[in-house]
Structure 1
Amino acid sequence: MLETEEDVPADRVVETLEILLHAPPFLRSPKLARFLRFVVEEELAGRGATIKAYTIATQALGRNPDFDPSLDPSVRVEAGRLRRALDDAYAQHAEGLEVRIAVPVGGYRPRFGLREAVPTAPGAVTETDSGGPLPPAADGPGAVVLGFSPRGQAAVIALLAGILLVLCIDLGLTVSARLAAGSATPRDVAVRGR
């Protein structure tokens, strides 16, 4: 169960941050590690309201003071990469990380939450961050049972678009076949349909 950030002691957030920064996604990208460290430390220091694209760019990512976030989307792009890296890091540490650090879409301020211990017995029912029951994970530790990562969302959208495309093609072929079989013109089909 995810609790509010007031319930998460700062020392536990810092401990989790250090574990995450040693996970492969952050070891491979020092830029993402600096981004994550900056936003978490600023939030813990009580300066969360000042976490904006400009401050991230100039203080964490090494951009010049003339950086203009309205012209340069690099911080938004890096924030998307950061969210995926966090998802990957938590998937690799499915057991043992009770503190969840997240950077919600639409902003850069991190949010912290505590997760209840998840039973590991086969067939055990786990809980989501919202407290609702889930069926047991089919693919072992770290399997996403409920919700989709950004990549998963894109895959679902692509699948639905593909299904819609197939249905449109099928409809077009059906209309074409009926037109050819009845030697009717498209106007005749439209008139008959009324």
Structure 2
Amino acid sequence: MTTSSLLSGADGAVELRGPLASRLLEKSPAMKRLLVYLWEHRAEELNEYAIATEALDRRSDFDPRTDAAVRVQVARLRQKLKEFYDDEGTLDPWRLSIPLGSYQLQAEPVTKDGAPPDLAIQDNPPAAAAIPTIAPQPVVAKPPASRYLWFSAAGLAILAMGWLLGSRWERQVQMSTASSSAVVVSPFWANLLKGGRPTQIVFPNPVFFTWVDKNGDTLLVRDPAVNSYHDLERSPSLSGLEAQRGKPILAQDYTVASDTRAVFRLAQYLQPLGTKISPSSSTELSPESADSANLILLGTVGTLAPYQAYLDKLHFRIPEHKQYIEDATPSLKAPVHFETVRESPTRIVAPGIVALLPGHSSDSFVLVLAGYHTNALISYLTSVNGLADLQKARTSHGNPEFFDAVVLSEVNGTTPLRSWVAAFKPLAKETR
């Protein structure tokens, strides 16, 4: 396939012209096809199977668990793009990239100083980057026995990235509006948003406590059991640090990068409906301040604490500090617990909750996406296969208007591979 025909298939996108015409891809038609495919599907949540069968001409029995072709080819393309912009494409007005751990192709305009916006922002990183090294723990890891997490500069990299993504929200949504117009939004979403009410997507702000000593060194600590400054005394660990170091400063300026990316992806997907979609952190938007709006809530049980009233209405619950889901109203022969299963050092099957409830106002709704892998849940709700799977479960239960479901997601690192409904229960409309 020629470069001109490839460009024609991608609507003649100017962002692709430089890389497709470069000598780096000159003798690699497969790499060109992959680039165009990722461009055409950049507003979707991609997985290895789709890329393999639709872009790399793999057979329908392709198994990403035993065949690393997609990971290898995407890694090669990621490196080729970097080499292109370091050499032939230094004057290109756009820069394409594929973030590590992702298959989503991103396009950024180059700033006047020649750097992409991401690099320009990172020239002045938030104060968190100056925190000294203190044995970091992953944000989404199972809480240790002491129930609190210590973060260093490395441990906060994920959080700082989330902060940067959140600060660039308006600009990115404006950039994506034109490209989003080609996305076909499913009947599930079209029906939910048909009333035209504004929709708030609420993403979590974990609560951290900061101590600064006389030398200016900073210690940042999180106890997953504490989601308010006023609840500090509930934590023996935080109380002990307070006794040693004095009163801490509350730090809630960060979001987890995977949550922030998920929110942006969902908003981009919903953009063609013309509904006003706004992001808000859990600390910015109280349940009372959004009485007339639709709410889409993302997070864990801890970060969704301000919206506990909604969680209490569900059949399925995530116990505090646990990575499993339990059925609060179990029935005969149905599973009571849905555990996290580790398949390999990087690959797990994790449970999450997808629940649709009535909102405060007539014709408004609340959509809850609860779990440690909200990115996988949004991938599920923005993919053709995922929405078909959910509709099949609804149909088998009489197509209820409101429901809650356990969705299992196979995740490799931070990349969602596939998701499916494991349990489904209707909710009465009186849950308003």
Query: Following superposition of structure 1 onto structure 2, how do residues 22-101 of structure 1 map, counting pairs within 5 Å?
Result: 22-43=21-42, 46=43, 48-49=44-45, 51-101=46-96
Q: 1:154-194 CA distances to partner (integer Å, 9 max, x unpaired)? A: xxxxxxxxxxxxxxxxxxxxxxxxxxxxxxxxxxxxxxxxx
Q: Distance in 1 between matches of 2:112 and 2:122?
A: 12
Aligned partner of 1:108 among 95, 103, 122 = 103
Match of 2:13, SS? Answer: helix
Question: What's the % identity of the aligned pairs?
Answer: 28
1:111 Cα deviation from its structure 2 partner: 1.4
Uncovered stretches (5+) of structure 1, i.e. residues with no partner:
1-10, 120-126, 134-194
Aligned-residue RMSD, C-alpha: 2.5
Q: Distance in 1 between matches of 2:89 and 2:39?
A: 21
Check conservation: 1:35, 1:61, Cα contact below 8 A: yes
Q: Distance in 1 between matches of 2:21 and 2:75?
A: 19
Check conservation: 2:24, 2:84, Cα contact below 8 A: yes
Match of 2:24, SS? Answer: helix
1:129 Cα deviation from its structure 2 partner: 3.5
Q: Distance in 1 between matches of 2:25 and 2:74?
A: 13
Give the TM-score normalised by structure 2.
Answer: 0.24
Q: 1:68 to 1:52 in 2, by over 3 A?
A: same
Larger radius of gyration: 1
Find out whether 1:130 has 2:124 as its counterpart: no
Q: 1:24-64 CA distances to partner (integer Å, 9 max, x unpaired)? A: 11112111111111011112xx4x12x21111111111100
Check conservation: 2:15, 2:107, Cα contact below 8 A: no
Structure 1 stretches of at least 4 aligned residues deviating more than 2 Å after TM superposition: 92-96, 127-133
Aligned residues: 112
Q: 1:45-93 CA distances to partner (integer Å, 9 max, x unpaired)? A: x4x12x2111111111110011011110111011110111101111223
Uncovered stretches (5+) of structure 2, i.e. residues with no partner:
1-9, 125-432
Q: Distance in 2 between matches of 1:12 and 1:56?
A: 20
Q: 1:13 to 1:101 in 2, by over 3 A?
A: farther
1:108 Cα deviation from its structure 2 partner: 0.4
Q: Distance in 2 between matches of 1:12 and 1:66?
A: 31
Question: More relative contact order in 1 or in 2 (CA 8 Å, sep 6+)?
Answer: 1
1:128 Cα deviation from its structure 2 partner: 3.6
Aligned partner of 1:117 among 105, 112, 121 = 112
Give the TM-score normalised by structure 1.
Answer: 0.52
Q: 1:70 to 1:102 in 2, by over 3 A?
A: same
